[in-house]
Amino acid sequence: MVGCGAMRLASRAPPPTTHNPQPSAVSRIIPPILQLQHLTKRFDAFTAVDDLSLDIAAGEFLTFLGASGSGKTTTLRMIAGFERPTSGEILMEGTSITPLPPFKRDINTVFQSYALFPHMSVRDNVGYGLRMRGVPKAEIGKRVEEALQMVQLGHLGERAPRQLSGGQQQRVALARALVNRPRVLLLDEPLGALDLKLRKEMQLELKQLNKRLGITFIYVTHDQEEALTMSDRIALMRNGKIEQLSGPREMYEEPVSRYVADFIGETNLLQSTAARRLGGSAARLTIGGREFDATATKSWEEGKPAWLAVRPEHVYAVTSGDGSHWLPVRVVDVIFTGVITRVHTTVEGAGSLVLHWPAEQPAPERDATLTVTWPVERGRCVGD
Amino acid sequence: MSATSRAAKPDWLDWVRARPRVRTFIGAGLPVGFVTVLLLLPYLFLFAHSFFRLTNGRLTHELTLENYRRLFGTPLYPNTILFSAGIAARVTIVALLLAYPLAYLLAFKVKRHRNLMYMAVIIPLWVSYLVRAYAWKIILGQEGILNGFLQWAHLIDQPVAFLLYSKWAVIIALIHIYTPFTLMPIYAVLEAIPPALKEASQDLYASRWQTFRHVVLPLSLPGVVAGCTFSFVLSMGDFIAPGLLGGNDSALMVSNLVVSLFGVAFNWPLGAAVSVVMLVLTFTLLWLANKIETAMNYAGAPARRQETAVGAVGAGGLRK
């Protein structure tokens, strides 16, 4: 299995360098392999990518996450060379590759549709890039076999792509790109067509391949869970811009805006009727006539609408409220999902709120009234 | 059964409607009957006639292989078939050289008015075949447009006669008539190639030419085979363009030979034998083309369309 292979080969490859989600810390050690500078792409009147700048560290696993139309695929296609930026520069190790066609870039792509050549065997598909670069035949044969072994398809080399399952085709596409030992591997929603179980397996395999081979992975997906699972850093895209750039944990725990809080995981967004800054990074919000303190994010400015964002797993019921930092809620629905029980409630004047109920406690009845609270540091004050 | 009460009804349509088997028989019977009476029976007659003997200009229903013996024993007949095949081959090659780049441009380079451009290529097919053949008479004739132009440009002093009534006139007209037939299947196949395949090829270090050579061209071959089958089979069996434009050379086209054997020499058995040989050749070619296309059927779906394309050539050939 790839898992075992990763263990065995780990000693040969340099150790993973990018456990630190802070980009600055990484880039201080290794210069960025790719730099996107003020990238803009317009299609007629539509601006797909809007003045996007980003440094990508060598060996890191970076994910462009976003809804459809957010510009993530267009950004990837500009890096690959399939789209020419309207303005801006792409640098690879300090040298501009902006005017280069795709075939002159040391970058390979795994396509969403796999794009395997239907008239070639699996082996010929994988060897295509090496043949085009004029690598000697004997070496092509050797490297193709290695690549097929790596994705566990050594026995299927003579097959035609259409004779393979979706998962196998995906692996061929991966081998076809990796056999060229590119500096950067682009992956455009490569797991989108696979079923859930296979997708989970492949997520782990991709992550291990990234660490084992030391190749920079740039991944595009609309699946936030996938992004959280695999990435060193996530660039959350919205309207052609990066809304937040951070490690998965930071993005989950410290969303900078209402959009991010809503996009990543599940979040309760309680609208406040009034909010003011307390000094430092604290804000005081009024929700349902009660005052709550929360961490202010840069997406909110005093005088603008504010929401208090808090994750369902941080909300809990108490027998009596402490000070003013609690909310009365009415239970609307109780849903048992196996690991947790989700309790859906309504908050008068502030919308709905979901909390995760501890498994060891009896769940509340529908229409019951609860008093809920959360640790002050878990609440974030976000703007639109 | 209440058949008696229904049969008593005066309306015979009700009688039919009440009986699914009769309905099926009529529904399937019409097209089957159509094909049988207008296609299969004539072929059968033709086939039968090729084994009859002609004695003193009269047809005797006496079975013989004499016609086939004469067909293969006289150099004229195999030579005529070869000559026609040569004409058809030249038409096919030029039509392919014209159609492929045009189909490529339409499929990949034209973005804005693609359908309009495609229609512009196809529209000549809506003009009657005869009109198009006659048009070449006007262009190539001694008083024709081409001679007029050449004289006006002082390239020639006297009108040249060799343009019209030669095999070259036939070839030019046939190229004009059958190039759209060659283009259509090639365009269909090229258009069906997913853009991601070309991108993948370029992503894997292949230049534009290498991408064409290793990805686009191989994937378009089923369309090329279909298109070439179209133009080859149709132009080999053509007798109108040779009749109008070929002059003495037209006698060397096999279809015109058949026409004169039937209509001038009244040697129906020999004419039938030549026709049967041509039919066998044509079907062999179609079968072969279908085989090649099936063998190149990588993606599954697009090539299926081509199978019907070759089928259509068969039907077109039969209609002639």
A32-55 residue pLDDT tens: 999 999 999 999 889 999 999 999
Residues B109 and B193 in one domain: yes
A81–B219 C-beta distance less than 8 A: no
Instruction: Please state at what angle helix B254-263 crosses helix B268-295, rounded to 10 degrees.
Output: 150
Residues B45 and B71 in one domain: no
Q: Distance between CA A53 and CA A62 in Å, rounded?
A: 14
Domain boundaries, position B34: 4-49
Q: Which domains does chain A have, with CATH numbers?
A: 2-253 (3.40.50.300), 269-382 (2.40.50.140)
Pairing of strands A233-238, A61-66: parallel
In a domain, B56, yes or no: no
Contact A355, A316 (CB under 8 A): yes
Residues B169 and B33 in one domain: no
Nearest to A188 by CA among A264, A113, A282: A113
Nearest to B197 by CA among A141, A105, A161: A161
pLDDT at A212: 92
Residues B120 and B33 in one domain: no
Given its phi and psi angles, is residue A373 left (phi above 0), alpha (psi -120 to 50 degrees) or beta?
beta
In a domain, B55, yes or no: no
**pLDDT tens, residue by residue, A98-156:** 999 999 999 999 999 999 999 999 999 999 999 999 999 999 999 999 999 988 898 99
Q: Distance between CA B296 and CA A119 in Å, rounded?
A: 8
Of the candidates A104, A111, A160, the beta carbon closest to that of B200 is on: A111
Nearest to B108 by CA among B217, B193, B184: B193
Q: Find which of B203, B294, B296, B297 to mutate to test the A interface (most A CBs within 10 Å of its CB).
A: B203
Measured in whole angstroms, the distance separating CA B93 from the mean position of its chain's CA atoms is 15
In a domain, B54, yes or no: no
**pLDDT tens, residue by residue, B278-309:** 999 999 999 999 888 888 766 543 433 444 44
B201–A128 C-beta distance less than 8 A: yes
- Measured between CA atoms, how close is B19 to chain A, in angstroms? 47
Nearest to B205 by CA among A129, A109, A183: A129
Question: Which residues in chain A are contacts of B296 at CB distance < 8 A?
Answer: 119
Which residue's structure tokens are 């000094």? A279
Residues B287 and B262 in one domain: yes
Residues B97 and B226 in one domain: yes
pLDDT > 80? residue A324: no
The answer, for A111 touching chain B at a CB cutoff of 8 Å, is yes
Residues B258 and B299 in one domain: yes
**pLDDT tens, residue by residue, A157-208:** 999 999 999 899 999 999 999 999 999 999 999 998 888 888 999 999 999 9
Q: Distance between CA B131 and CA B137 in Å, rounded?
A: 10
Pairing of strands A184-188, A107-110: parallel
Q: What is the pTM of this model?
A: 0.78
Q: Distance between CA B81 and CA A310 in Å, rounded?
A: 86
B296–A119 C-beta distance less than 8 A: yes
* Number of structural domains chain B divides into: 2
Distance in angstroms between the alpha carbons of the first and the last residue of chain B:
50
pLDDT at B318: 36
ipTM above 0.95, yes or no: no
Residue B250's CATH number: 1.10.3720.10
Question: Which residues in chain A are contacts of B196 at CB distance < 8 A?
Answer: 111-113, 115
Residues B102 and B171 in one domain: yes
Q: Give the angle A126-A132-A135 at the CA atoms, nearest 5°.
A: 85
